[in-house]
Structure 1
Amino acid sequence: MRFRQLLPLFGALFALYIIWGSTYFVIRIGVESWPPLMMAGVRFLAAGILLLAFLLLRGHKLPPLRPLLNAALIGLLLLAVGNGMVTVAEHQNVPSGIAAVVVATVPLFTLCFSRLFGIKTRKLEWVGIAIGLAGIIMLNSGGNLSGNPWGAILILIGSISWAFGSVYGSRITLPVGMMAGAIEMLAAGVVLMIASMIAGEKLTALLPFQASLRSAIWRCLVRLSLLTLICI
């Protein structure tokens, strides 16, 4: 196999290990100054709007209603609940050891939901997941595995939601290509921003003389949420 043929594989591995792997570290930094639900909502709203705008400018059309709603549901399961719960948990200073162990249960729950949906699983898959989970527990056994139990429960809920959404998403009709991701992020962003407003989250890190700026940011976020809801 030529080197050029391996470049896409190297790029995918780089994205998986470096970009995706650094997500939780970046979340940890972000929640030090941002409320968790608001931060996650702004993140997905911005990414979803940029991706949707890019696709529409490239000539892509919005999908039919059923695939669109399916994508919104998957966005709710994977991003709003799955990633949102992790963000809230990290705001509660859950130790990284606990987070790593709980998140490692996602493949296990995925296999369980696969069986419930009638998807055949192999014994080798169960063995591999058991070995991987045991390895993560061993790697973190020397660290701090005690902490806020509610934070661990939130991560567990997020892991279960992510696993269910992954399996259920393979059984329903979704928009083609990157359009599915755009709608998923938009839907998750809207839900998270609504949850943030209901929870009364505020950008308290802003200085007092920046109150007018804070008000402007809130107005922009509310309008952006409403516009996203209308588009969906």
Structure 2
Amino acid sequence: MTAPPAVATVPPAAWLVAVALGIVYVVWGSTYLAIRVLVEDLPPFASASWRYLVAGLLLGAVLALRGGVRRLRVARRELVGCAALGLLLPALGNGLVMLGEQKGAPSGIAALLIAAVPLWVIVYRRLTGDRPSARTLLGVLLGFAGLVVLIASQGISGDVPVVACLIIMGATVFWSLGSWSQPRLPLPKDAFVLAVYEMLFGSVWLLLLAAVRGEHLLPTSAPLDAWLAWAYLVTFGSVVAFTAYVWVLSVAPISLVATYAYVNPVVAVFLGWLILSEAVTMPIVIGGAVVVGAVAIVVSAERQKAQADQASTRSTALRVTE
């Protein structure tokens, strides 16, 4: 009996992958600018809550129209996992970025600090017994040195409140913890369904944080540019870019997709300088370059480690079948 012929899958056109990756590069890089404009007139936690509520409902409606309401059904334990992820990523991860920018952190500085997320993920792995390569650990140490330069330079110059930088550093800790925890939590297998519930739970957590801070919980009057920035974050930041990210992650190598981690800060710094006239001082350039370079080292080292592990697994499988 012969096995049925394998069905060949047609890889997506290179230009489609390039467009999707470009969307992730530019849109996610520009969200820091939009946040900076928004928090000038709208409360950080409450406006983030409205953002994720609308984005979650929009994405959920699209999924229901395309696959039926049944597609959105999840188990109770999966809802608990979504609630935990909603707390770590949208609420504490993104919410603290918005608070930090409201406290005075420029959008470019915020993006450079957030670039450290992959470094924190390595720290969590090391604390739980994993043994990253020496090259990965070198990248982590280099990256944290860059962060020290960034934060210390702001404290010395007095242009940016150190507290604002530390708040955003707190956001990186929670965001990386959520990223590290995601494979370990009971979650829906459909990434888009996961995104719906993660955003909706994040909206609830953010509303609670807003209540604790005494923010206006319902939308209030604000200048048009603030609402345009909010609408941009809802549509492009939360729906369009995330959809592009999930799609390109399924069709392109993770080593290629992961480059967004060190392209986004470059986009954010450039846009902040171009549109908001944010200062780009030499310490920012040096510290930012060190952080971005360190993330590139870690991503490259992890890619090589993954390829070596796959080659070792294939070699073992061949020996077993001989």
Deviations 1:158-203 (A, max 9, x none): 1000111111112222112201111110011111122223322236
Structure showing greater radius of gyration is 2
Aligned residue for 1:170, secondary structure, equals helix
CA RMSD of aligned residues (A): 3.0
Which deviates more, 155-164 or 120-129?
120-129
Structural mapping, 1:50-199, within 5 Å: 50-57=58-65, 58-59=67-68, 60-96=71-107, 98-130=109-141, 146-177=159-190, 178-199=192-213
Extract unaligned runs of 5+ from structure 2. Answer: 1-9, 224-322
CA gap of 1:94–1:134, structure 2 versus 1, over 3 A, is same
- The offset of 1:99, in angstroms, is 2.4
Given that 2:151 and 2:162 are in contact with CA atoms closer than 8 Å, whether structure 1 keeps it comes out as: no
Q: Which digits, 9 at most, give the CA deviation of each residue in 1:41-85, with x for residues without a partner?
A: 111111011112222332213210111210121111011001000
Structure 2: distance between partners of 1:153 and 1:182:
30
The aligned residue for residue 10 of structure 1 is 18
Identity of aligned pairs, percent?
34
- Matched positions, count: 206
* TM-score normalised over the length of structure 1: 0.76
- With normalisation by structure 2, the TM-score equals 0.56
1:42 to 43, 50, 63: 50
- CA distance in 1 between counterparts of 2:101 and 2:62 reads 32
- Secondary structure of the residue that 1:47 maps to in structure 2? helix
Instruction: State the alpha-carbon separation in 2 of the partners of residues 97 and 24 from structure 1.
Output: 7
Counterpart code for 1:94: A
Contact 2:86 2:205 in 1 (8 A): no
- Runs of 5+ in structure 1 lacking a partner? 208-232
Secondary structure, in 3 states, of the residue corresponding to 2:13?
A: helix
